[in-house]
Amino acid sequence: MISQVKRGGPEVKVQHHVNDDVIRSERLPNIWCPGCGIGIVVGAYVRAIQKSGIPRDRHVSISGIGCTGRVSGYLNLDSYHTTHGRAIAFATGMAVVRPELEITVIAGDGDLGVIGGNHLIHAARRNVDMNVIMVNNFNYGMTGGQHGGTTPLGAKTHTSPYGNVETPFNVPYLVAASGASFVARWTALHVRQVTAAIRRMMEVKGFAFMEVLSPCPPTFGEFNGFPEALDMMNYFRDKSVVDNDADLSKIGVTVRPDDQVVVGNFVDRRRPTYQELLSELRTKVEAKEASKK
């Protein structure tokens, strides 16, 4: 199938792609920098949707502010662009009211782990049935490259030019300790694993979380020895170690040349979801009230 697209100039004929039903191709090319991993995550998410067997009108995408916050604007789904740090709070309300929906939050490390860190741990504690994908590029990329809650010790940014002295969050460890049903970490290099993990997240009943480590060449990369688009991808290729049974307390990312990057699907367990517990409570209350009549 051939379609025609205008991109600020003459019409260009392009071949229809299988992902066009889910991606708003008329909005391409995207705003992300060359070498950014966000587009890879979007592609994996789209493929997971198509393979999930869940009707597209049941999928909902929610994002916040920042580079990753632009994801929802490229998806041909019910999608919501929320305020900074509040994507999970917004998703929680939707998940409680419409539990039949397959809700996925895609946001950055600053949005989810810092500005919205409180919402992250409490959604995991409650075990709200939703999927959360954190694209971690180790800095606030869109606003110029400030250091944040996942910036490795010693890493340089515009606001830590002599090296970061703040201990970063080990996010998979934090989320697993808070009670999440599924916890994973992969990199933007691991395209098939990211796709498979998202498919699994859509099957899991409960709070499903994945951290995707992503290159950010123009800000984090240029300060930390990864100036070209492929430099951090080569780092992920050479240093990543798959260990599904890893001790999560020891998988912090340093991006030092000699250190490993531990990836895998670390947690996959079943416990009652927030929605299930609310439904049980409602049934009990309604039965009790009915007995009074």
Flag whether 15 is in a domain: no
Burial of 198 (0-12, 13-18, 19+ CB in 10 A): buried
Query: Quick one: average pLDDT of 18-36?
Result: 85
Flag whether 161 is in a domain: yes
- For residue 145, the model assigns a pLDDT of 87
Flag whether 22 is in a domain: no
Flag whether 75 is in a domain: yes
Number of structural domains the chain divides into:
1
- For residue 135, the model assigns a pLDDT of 97
Flag whether pLDDT at 56 surpasses 70.
yes
CB of 215 within 8 A of CB of 233? Answer: yes
Q: Domain holding 55: CATH number? A: 3.40.50.970
Residue ranges in the chain assigned as alpha helix (H): 38-52, 87-97, 109, 117-126, 171-178, 191-203, 222-223, 231-239, 274-292
Domain that holds residue 178: 35-292
The pLDDT confidence band at residue 1, using thresholds 50, 70 and 90, is: very low
Query: Quick one: average pLDDT of 61-88?
Result: 92
